[in-house]
Amino acid sequence: MSDRRVAQTFLELADTLVERFDGIEFLHVLAERCVELLGVDSAGILLTDDQGVLRLVATSSDRVSSPERLQSGEDSRWAAVDAFPMRLRTEDIGSLNLFRTSPGALPPETATLAQSLANVATISLLQVRTVRQGSVVAEQLRIALHGRVAIEQAKGVLTERLEIGVADAFSLMRTYARNTGQLLSDVAGQVNARSPEVAGLTRVTKPRPRW
């Protein structure tokens, strides 16, 4: 990895003070950057709900299972799973999980960078909460979880309608959301409602940068 790409990623994750900040897209970007920079096979972001239970909110790919399947041993494809806490002082909001098909410990410098990415993401999310007076982490998580459900449903709608793969369906929605300046969860809701507003989903071009 290059120092320049690492620096670009930290800037990307730190710049959350944009209009209509999309928390779900932000977490998916974090997961994808972890795969790109850390040499792991997949990554997943888990946030803690108001009951203290970790919920899978964003992943780098559909290969990542829910925490329940991992803990029960149902998912045996990963030889190594590393978890890095998303915590600021006494406030714990979740964890960044890295998945590898090869066993062994992460190199110390990789583990340090992973924790740094988790830290900057935590600070960024809490910064959004602070700026948006009256917003709380539990509400952010509720929105993220509902958004994830809508997104999963929309993937199914698009795979059937357009006869494409799940990954392509997700990429299509993300690109459309960026190009139209909408939240990813809002686009998913329109897909699920079969809204004519998203007819352009089959005619998207390259996405405009959000951050």
> Which pair of tokens denotes residue 168?
């392509």
* In the predicted structure, residue 134 carries a pLDDT above the cut 60: no
Give the span between the Cα atoms of 210 and 206, in whole angstroms: 12
Q: Can you tell me the mean pLDDT for 94-102?
A: 93
Q: Can you tell me the mean pLDDT for 99-128?
A: 91
pLDDT of residue 31: 93
Give the span between the Cα atoms of 113 and 10, in whole angstroms: 10
Domains annotated for the chain, with CATH where assigned, are 3-135 (3.30.450.40), 141-203 (1.10.10)
Which amino acid, one-letter code, is at 71?
A: Q
Q: Can you tell me the mean pLDDT for 129-146?
A: 60
Q: What is the pTM of this model?
A: 0.69
Average pLDDT, the chain: 81
| Residue that wins the pLDDT comparison between 125 and 69 | 125
pLDDT of residue 99: 94
Q: Can you tell me the mean pLDDT for 142-161?
A: 83
The angle, 0 to 180 degrees and rounded to 10, between the axes of the packed helices 23-38 and 166-180 is 120
CA distances from 103 to 85, 106, 178 (A): 21, 9, 37
* In the predicted structure, residue 128 carries a pLDDT above the cut 80: no
The angle, 0 to 180 degrees and rounded to 10, between the axes of the packed helices 23-38 and 3-14 is 170
Give the span between the Cα atoms of 34 and 125, in whole angstroms: 17
